[in-house]
Structure 1
Amino acid sequence: MSLLLLLAACLLTCLGQIAQKYAVESWRESDSSLTGKLRSPWLWLALFALGSGLLVWLLVLQRLEVGIAYPMLSLNFVLITLIARFVFREPIDSRHWIGVALVIGGVVLLGQQS
């Protein structure tokens, strides 16, 4: 159950980050006033996802040691990098991919402790 909650916190946080990206992209194309920005459904999705992710994260912290749980959120770097590359078509250099591989390796090592 703890790992499912951790995965949910990770996915909600990633969803929030993606929604933030879409929100700011939509602001470039439309009304840039504060009222116009507040009408963005992407902004509200981001706030909902990040808020929900925070609540799930609190449940995770009730069940896992922070020294184990927190590094697992590093998987967000991996997921966001993949989304940046394949959804937003952003260029990712080789150093970044090496960093992603190191993060995955670190998560695997830490996951073996629990």
Structure 2
Amino acid sequence: MTLILLLVACLLTCMGQIAQKYAVESWRGKDSGWAEKLLSPWLWLALACLGFGLLVWLLVLQRLEVGIAYPMLSLNFVLITLAAHFVFHETIDRRHWIGVALIIAGVVLLGRHA
């Protein structure tokens, strides 16, 4: 159950980051003020995802030591890199992919401890 909560916290956080990106992309090239920007559905989706992600994270911290739980959040780097590549069509160089592989290896090592 703890692993599922950790994955949910990661997914919600990543969804929040992706929604933030969509929010700022929707503002690009517009001369709108802050009031109009605050009405962006992408911004509100980002806030909701990040808020729920925080609540789930608190549940994770009740079940895992912070020294184990927090490094597991590095999965967010992996998920955001995948979203950057496949959703936003950003170029990811080989060095970045090697870093992602190392992060995955680290999470696997930590996961065996938990």
TM band (smaller chain): over 0.9
In structure 1, the partner of 2:86 is 86
How many residues end up aligned between the 2 structures?
114
In structure 1, the partner of 2:37 is 37
Partners in 2 of 1:104 and 1:32 — Cα distance? 41
Partners in 2 of 1:3 and 1:31 — Cα distance? 44
Partners in 2 of 1:5 and 1:31 — Cα distance? 41
Cα deviation, 1:9-28, whole Å, max 9, x if unaligned, reads 00000000000000000011
8 A contact 1:31–1:37 mirrored in 2:
no
Give 1:71 deviation, angstroms.
Answer: 0.9
Give 1:30 deviation, angstroms.
Answer: 3.5
Give 1:31 deviation, angstroms.
Answer: 4.4
Aligned residue identity for 1:28: R
In structure 1, the partner of 2:60 is 60
Partners in 2 of 1:8 and 1:89 — Cα distance? 25
The runs of 4+ residues in structure 1 deviating greater than 2 Å are 29-32
Give 1:68 deviation, angstroms.
Answer: 1.0
Unaligned runs of 5+ in 2: none
> What is the TM-score when the length of structure 2 is the normalising length?
0.96
Cα deviation, 1:54-110, whole Å, max 9, x if unaligned, reads 011001000111111111110010000001001100000111001000000100111
CA RMSD of aligned residues (A): 0.9
Aligned residue identity for 1:19: A
In structure 2, the partner of 1:16 is 16
Cα deviation, 1:40-66, whole Å, max 9, x if unaligned, reads 000000000001100110010001111
Unaligned runs of 5+ in 1: none
Q: Among the aligned pairs, what percent are the same residue?
A: 79
In structure 2, the partner of 1:110 is 110
